[in-house]
Amino acid sequence: MSSWQPLSPVERSVAIEVLVHGPLSRTELARRLRLSQGSLTRLTKPLIESGLLVEAAGPGGAGEIRQGRPSRPLDVAAGARSFLGFKITADRVHGVRTTLRGEVTARLDRPLATHDPGAVAGLLAEAAGDLSAGHPAPAGIGIGVGGRVHERSVVAESAFLGWRDVPLAALVRERTGLPVVVENDVAALVEAETWFGAGRGLDRFAVLTIGAGIGYGLVLGGSRVPHDEEDRGFGRNWIIDPHGPLTPEGARGSAVSYLTIPSIRYQVAAATGRDTGYEEILAGAAAGEPMAFRVVDEAARALGTLVAQIANFAMPQKILLAGEGVGLMDVAGDTVRDTVRAHRHPLAAPVDLETKVSDFHDWARGAAVPAIQVLVLGLTGQ
């Protein structure tokens, strides 16, 4: 792959600043990075020559000092490289093609008939070919998996796929000839939101996802906090009420038992004897159906408790609530917010809670961002 590696640490900081916050005038870029104009010129010259940075059309922007020939702002050539991102679920593969800034330009879905690692890698290779058809070869592939990932290449453990120590990056690379980065799906989503989404420019930022499971990620100093416990099921051990509802697996009163889609459906089915879809349960709660309302109301109070605890202990500037289960906020958002306030100090600042309904293509886009970080900017895995 033709790449812009290797970058020195200072060159990398310049590239990241422009990628995430650009276009930026040279004066503003020097101010942000505390560099002299001479040092900035020396650092940006090879980045421009390599094609990573370009001079954007238009004025230099706020803070640009106009002396002599007008200076044009620096930007990344976002469309000069494309990346592929994939999210693997239990029964489907969801894929996207993105620009260097993670902007989605194409998407697809493929049914997943087997969890055999070789077959899954083959399906990913076929999907990569379909997403790339008629376009220049992508610079690399990012894959998001619900499970523990070792060195951004090996799926150490994934319960829903039944995998242990699967060298997924190598399997896909063998079939595509492209560099591959594998990451825990929640970690990848947090990286994407930190660089290009709700957390851009924030020093402290948290992400809470609800859907088939519960995920959590924390950003401090503008960078995601990596940890070995990713996908170790912290939600199963985050007890809201030890006398609370059961999960299908028999755990009682945890965040999972209150908030995940399977647990919410399980509670309603146990009470009514009827298997009901998540959207139908939310609609029933909105209409005042007693059982649906009770389960959804308890879920909303549990969610408010979690948000308040995150705010109390991590003190983020913003909390992003994402995942396929956040339709809960449309029905019971007032209850969530009331519960947050009840669990905070009366004089505490309001929690900046942003909600993003995420489909699996958003998760696939998230998987592309670690590929951008590793393959273009030379950032390493954990």
Indicate the angle between helix axes 168-176 and 117-132, nearest 10 degrees.
50
Instruction: Indicate whether 206 and 353 sit together in one domain.
Output: yes
Instruction: Indicate whether 180 and 284 sit together in one domain.
Output: no
Residue 3 lies in a domain: no
Residue 19 lies in a domain: yes
Residue 196 lies in a domain: no
Residue 324 makes CB contacts below 8 A (sequence gap 6+) with: 211, 212, 261, 357, 358, 359, 360
> Mean pLDDT, consecutive 10-residue segments, the chain of 382 residues?
66 90 92 92 89 75 46 86 95 96 95 97 97 92 94 92 96 96 94 94 95 92 81 72 82 90 94 94 97 96 96 96 95 97 95 90 95 80 43
Instruction: Indicate whether 49 and 135 sit together in one domain.
Output: no
Our CA angle for 23, 24, 25, nearest 5°, is: 135
Instruction: Indicate whether 159 and 221 sit together in one domain.
Output: no
HSE of 314, CA atoms in CB hemisphere, 13 A: 25
Asked if residues 112 and 92 have their Cβ atoms less than 8 Å apart, the reply is yes
Report d(CA 142, CA 369) in Å as an integer.
Answer: 7
Residue 4 lies in a domain: no
Strands 204-210 and 154-158: unpaired
Instruction: Indicate whether 212 and 352 sit together in one domain.
Output: yes
Residue 382 lies in a domain: no
Instruction: Indicate whether 150 and 125 sit together in one domain.
Output: yes
Instruction: Indicate whether 129 and 229 sit together in one domain.
Output: no
The predicted structure's pLDDT at residue 68? 44
Domain that holds residue 130: 83-191+362-375
Instruction: Indicate whether 141 and 228 sit together in one domain.
Output: no
The H or E element spanning position 19 is: helix 9-21
Last residue of a domain, one of 76, 104, 120: 76
Residue 13 lies in a domain: yes
Domain count, the chain: 3
Residue 136 makes CB contacts below 8 A (sequence gap 6+) with: 82
Residue 2 lies in a domain: no
Instruction: Indicate whether 166 and 226 sit together in one domain.
Output: no
Last residue of a domain, one of 56, 76, 96: 76
Residue 308 lies in a domain: yes
Report d(CA 158, CA 168) in Å as an integer.
Answer: 12
Instruction: Indicate whether 317 and 349 sit together in one domain.
Output: yes
CATH of the domain at 14: 1.10.10.10
Instruction: Indicate whether 251 and 154 sit together in one domain.
Output: no
Last residue of a domain, one of 31, 57, 76: 76
Instruction: Indicate whether 233 and 267 sit together in one domain.
Output: yes
CATH of the domain at 237: 3.30.420.40
